[in-house]
Amino acid sequence: AQTVTQSQPEMSVQEAETVTLSCTYDTSESNYYLFWYKQPPSRQMILVIRQEAYKQQNATENRFSVNFQKAAKSFSLKISDSQLGDTAMYFCAFIGAGNNRKLIWGLGTSLAVNP
Amino acid sequence: KAGVTQTPRYLIKTRGQQVTLSCSPISGHRSVSWYQQTPGQGLQFLFEYFSETQRNKGNFPGRFSGRQFSNSRSEMNVSTLELGDSALYLCASSWGHQSSGNTIYFGEGSWLTVV
């Protein structure tokens, strides 16, 4: 069965510092997609970053970047220059490419950015 | 462009009753998926609809059902409510199938409390 593991239930970081959230997944597929979503206290899920497994280049969105290690099945999220508004739950998700697949979600990491 | 709209946002129901939740996707999006989010279980996939057809279904009892209309709006219904159905129900839409790696966009959710 495909699984997504986020091993850090809670993390904290000082404003302006850098933090890395870990995510590992288990799959036998070679083509798939990975996502990081953010859920602030408002509970609105917001896409942070998306990675296609067949692209070796790590995805980047402004202060957010990923370290995608396909062989190790690792997909960590780095947040640079952390801001108070980054305080949220962060979810890692995986979906295999193919018919009728569904997103598999990790249990999330609660990130607190402290002033 | 309006986002994903879910109604109602909050509701309280009694055990044994039924409930219908509504979701209007982003204009042009044909895929709508539903998730149940609870503190202990994280996000659990309920089902995905595409062009009025259910494309995929999660591991939920038959009390949970859904449908999609020709305008892509979707409803989910839960019959014979149980206390354990209390959760945040999230709707998400995407232009194409989730399994094509399309980014999904979430609504703000419907908070269901069963008493």
CA-angle at A89, arms to A87 and A91, nearest 5°: 135
Residue of A nearest to B59 (CA): A102
Tell me if B92 and A95 make a contact (CB, 8 A cut-off). Answer: no
Cα pseudo-dihedral B56, A53, A47, B65, rounded to 10: 10
Q: What is the pLDDT of residue A100?
A: 72
**Cβ atoms of A82 and A90 closer than 8 Å:** no
A30, A34, A43, A45: best to mutate for the B interface, most B CBs within 10 A: A45
Phi and psi at B79, nearest 5°, equal -100, 160
Taking 90 as the threshold, does the pLDDT of residue B39 lie above it?
A: no
Q: What is the pLDDT of residue B42?
A: 83
Tell me the C-alpha to C-alpha distance, in Å, between residue B7 and each of A1, A24, A97, B59, B72.
34, 35, 31, 24, 15
Q: Per-residue pLDDT tens for A56-75?
A: 899 999 999 999 999 999 99
pLDDT-derived band at A29, boundaries 50, 70, 90? confident
Chain B residues in contact with A50 (beta carbon < 8 A): 101, 103
Taking 90 as the threshold, does the pLDDT of residue B101 lie above it?
A: no
Taking the C-alpha atoms of residue B78 and residue B65, their distance in angstroms, rounded to an integer, is: 6
Min CA distance, A52 vs chain B (Å)? 8
Tell me the C-alpha to C-alpha distance, in Å, between residue B3 and each of A93, B48, B52, B108.
21, 18, 20, 9
**Cβ atoms of B56 and B69 closer than 8 Å:** no
Share of chain B above pLDDT 70, in %: 99
pLDDT-derived band at B103, boundaries 50, 70, 90? confident
Taking the C-alpha atoms of residue A49 and residue A35, their distance in angstroms, rounded to an integer, is: 6
Nearest to B101 among A44, A95, A99 (CB): A95
Residue of B nearest to A98 (CA): B99
The burial class, CB within 10 Å (0-12 / 13-18 / 19+), for A65 is middle
Mean pLDDT of the region B64-77: 97
Taking 70 as the threshold, does the pLDDT of residue B69 lie above it?
A: yes
Report the mean per-residue pLDDT for chain A: 93
B53, B55, B99, B104: best to mutate for the A interface, most A CBs within 10 A: B99
Tell me if A100 and B108 make a contact (CB, 8 A cut-off). Answer: no
Taking 70 as the threshold, does the pLDDT of residue A91 lie above it?
A: yes
Cβ atoms within 10 Å, residue A47: 15
Tell me the C-alpha to C-alpha distance, in Å, between residue A72 and each of A69, A75, A104.
5, 9, 18
Q: What is the pLDDT of residue B102?
A: 81
Q: Which residues contact A47 (CB under 8 A, 6 or more apart)?
A: A35, A36, A37, A38, B103, B104, B105
Q: What is the pLDDT of residue A1?
A: 75
Mean pLDDT of the region A74-101: 92
Q: Which residues contact A64 (CB under 8 A, 6 or more apart)?
A: A36, A48, A49, A77, A78, A79, A80
DSSP helix/strand/coil, A115: coil
